[in-house]
Structure 1
Amino acid sequence: MQYGAMQLLSMWLKERKIQNQSEHTLEAYFRDVSGFIDFCYEKKIELNQVEASDLREYMAYKVEQHQLNSASLQRHLTAIRQFMKWAVEGKYLSNNPIHDFKLKRQPRPLPGMVDVETIQQILDQPAPESSQDHLLWLRDKAILELLYSSGLRLAEVQGLNIRDIDFTRQLLRITGKGNKTRVVPFGLKAKTSLIEWLKVHRIWCGDIELDSPVFMTKKGSRLTNRQIENRVKLQAQRAGVNVDLHPHLLRHCFASHLLSNSGDLRAVQEMLGHSNLSTTQIYTQLDFDRLAQVYDKAHPRAQKS
């Protein structure tokens, strides 16, 4: 049976959806692969006739017409390569000449870091004197503590429900990317902050159910991602630190500080919810920089003559 390229793409995306891929990811796959299919159609190239040179020409076209950076090109390539691999494995195509096509990877920039002392200055700042601002601070502090204590993504802390918290064992059940679930610990200070915030939660919203969102507005609705981002920035400003603080930066700091003190890359990978260790290894570069500085100062053969 013969299938058209777009029909194959539709079949592939349906399988991906069954595998719990997010709508955002599926939309990106569709854009990336359909763009290549359209390019082949204009060139009058069937999928079973595609060669590595065609993909190279397409990538050059994307750079020229759309000014895509290396990361965006790599995303395009990954989607196209996975689609073609699926088509061959399903015997819809006879071969995949682009399975080993690679782009030269650009070095990934290190995320901006904030030192431990600055993080502590933000988390340990005095509560506001205003009673209303004091209640908001108790909520914000619980958010900040969880972001830094457990390395959560913004969407993960925003989607947290009461049933996801095990106060006895100090564990969180987190639903991350691709609906993958992981269990991560949280610290004593985060526990204390959560307990104090939930007292306010009851005042604002009444009885707390297992399915209740952890972080709520005074009107009883779940905080949005944007609201959380704004509150994180506000508390950094209130602490008087010159840092553009955002939730993902706290996640970076969590990973860097934990790895620096433990050296356990696998544990950090599990807590961050990274499927590939290579994603976590970016944080090892920070330690290498520190080690290089120590070496330059201490080793007798490192000194310039």
Structure 2
Amino acid sequence: MVMKHDPASKRSTGPSAKFSEPVADYLEYLQRERGRSENTLRAYDVDLRNLGQFLNEHAGDPALKQISVQMLRDWLAYLHESAVSRTTLARRISAVKNFFAWALKNHLVENDPALRLAAPKKERRLPHILQPSQIDRLLSEHAGPTEENEAARQKGDGIDQDPKARAIQCRDRVIAELLYASGLRISELVALDLSDIDFERRTLRVLGKGNKERMVPFGKPAERVIIEWIRSYRRVVAAEQAGDALLVGVRGSRLNVRQAREVIASALRSLGDTSASGPHALRHTVATHLLDGGADLRAVQEFLGHASLATTQLYTHVSVDRLRQSYRQAHPRA
């Protein structure tokens, strides 16, 4: 739950209650009515606090209705002078524009001062992807050491003798297989329950961004490792507090995002020949491999749970194999 800022606890260098209280109401609206994730709420909070602090220090701490477009432009100039990246600048402008649109709708302001703010074009960096041979190695080799499997390993003479360490190793294979098989976000993966798996159809029921539900298929290799985990290993580490969670941490409760991210980061480091560094690399990779294989762009959009087709189209820029194949087939002098 998003907590409102306590006016008594504000510092003179931070946003005052004039600004922080409506921001807290806005964040609560985003959480309760729009279903925004904790990461999204945290980003909005940081960006709006930045504006509130600037207004407090440089604009005489105006009331919300007194904030003008010139004040916002002065804030943007201050950000430019602070060498803020274009990506951060665009995100902060978006947060402020959305906030004031909400404030206008709720009659907290008479005019929207952010309406005429223009965000810079975001830098579109091509995502790092893995080649099929690297994926084969990633999914066939044991992931590198993590805090969890090292702790479990130290309790026995070796991984072959330690049931908990073997269980964690199997769970880590489930994480890697499912991320590549289904293209899930890491938060979607750790939120999966046993009841979300349909083995007959080999599909997952996934709750994505904005509480939108979608069905995502997975293949036989992922099916085999999931069944092995559920039948033979999950009960070794799962405690009562795990509930129906598919993935369980070494302490017996549902695996969290940080732990799952470290599993994949460790596995990618162990490859030694890729700059891909986190679980989102597998999401980029499966999208690119699907497009390379001839999958329809809109089908990939639905598979990944993208709200906009433009997000999915990013992967067409990294689908080099598909481009080369089309070039060879269509160009008269290929």
What is the TM-score when the length of structure 1 is the normalising length? 0.81
Aligned residue number for residue 135 of structure 2? 119
Equivalent-residue separation in structure 2 for 1:21 and 1:106 (angstroms): 22
Aligned residue number for residue 23 of structure 2? 9
Residues 109, 168 of structure 1: alpha-carbon distance in 2 compared, 3 angstrom cutoff = same
What is the SS of the residue equivalent to 2:319?
helix
Superposition RMSD on alpha carbons, in Å? 3.4
2:268 and 2:277 in contact (8 A); partners too: yes
Residues 208, 196 of structure 1: alpha-carbon distance in 2 compared, 3 angstrom cutoff = farther
Aligned residue number for residue 98 of structure 1? 114
Query: Paired residue for 2:261, among 201, 217, 229?
Result: 229
Residues 209, 200 of structure 1: alpha-carbon distance in 2 compared, 3 angstrom cutoff = farther
Please list, as runs of the form range in 1=range in 2, the aligned pairs for 1:238-257 lying within 5 A after superposition: 242-243=273-274, 244=276, 246-257=278-289
Give the unaligned 5+ runs of structure 2: 1-16, 144-157
**What's the offset of the Cα at 1:144?**
1.1
**What's the offset of the Cα at 1:181?**
2.8
Equivalent-residue separation in structure 2 for 1:190 and 1:208 (angstroms): 26
Equivalent-residue separation in structure 1 for 2:191 and 2:303 (angstroms): 17
Residues 298, 179 of structure 1: alpha-carbon distance in 2 compared, 3 angstrom cutoff = closer
* Residue 176 (structure 2) pairs with residue 144 (structure 1): yes
Whichever residue aligns with residue 197 of structure 2, its letter is I
1:161 and 1:210 in contact (8 A); partners too: no
* Residue 224 (structure 2) pairs with residue 192 (structure 1): yes
* Residue 295 (structure 2) pairs with residue 279 (structure 1): no
Equivalent-residue separation in structure 1 for 2:239 and 2:108 (angstroms): 56
Equivalent-residue separation in structure 1 for 2:172 and 2:297 (angstroms): 29
Aligned residue number for residue 64 of structure 1? 81
Percent identity at matched positions?
A: 36
Query: Paired residue for 1:29, among 44, 62, 67?
Result: 44
What is the SS of the residue equivalent to 2:216?
strand
1:163 and 1:210 in contact (8 A); partners too: no
Equivalent-residue separation in structure 1 for 2:303 and 2:189 (angstroms): 14
Deviations 1:24-63 (A, max 9, x none): 4333323322432443343245544544443222112123
Equivalent-residue separation in structure 1 for 2:222 and 2:240 (angstroms): 19
Residues 294, 69 of structure 1: alpha-carbon distance in 2 compared, 3 angstrom cutoff = same
1:162 and 1:211 in contact (8 A); partners too: no
Residues 235, 25 of structure 1: alpha-carbon distance in 2 compared, 3 angstrom cutoff = closer
Bigger shift: residues 85-94 or 204-213: 204-213
Residues 13, 246 of structure 1: alpha-carbon distance in 2 compared, 3 angstrom cutoff = closer
**What's the offset of the Cα at 1:204?**
0.8
Bigger shift: residues 130-139 or 220-229: 130-139
1:40 and 1:46 in contact (8 A); partners too: no
2:194 and 2:244 in contact (8 A); partners too: yes
Query: Paired residue for 2:126, among 102, 107, 110?
Result: 110
**What's the offset of the Cα at 1:73?**
1.0
Bigger shift: residues 244-253 or 190-199: 244-253
**What's the offset of the Cα at 1:191?**
0.8
Equivalent-residue separation in structure 2 for 1:283 and 1:191 (angstroms): 26
What is the SS of the residue equivalent to 1:262?
coil
1:255 and 1:268 in contact (8 A); partners too: yes
**What's the offset of the Cα at 1:69?**
1.0
Equivalent-residue separation in structure 2 for 1:99 and 1:63 (angstroms): 20
Give the unaligned 5+ runs of structure 1: none
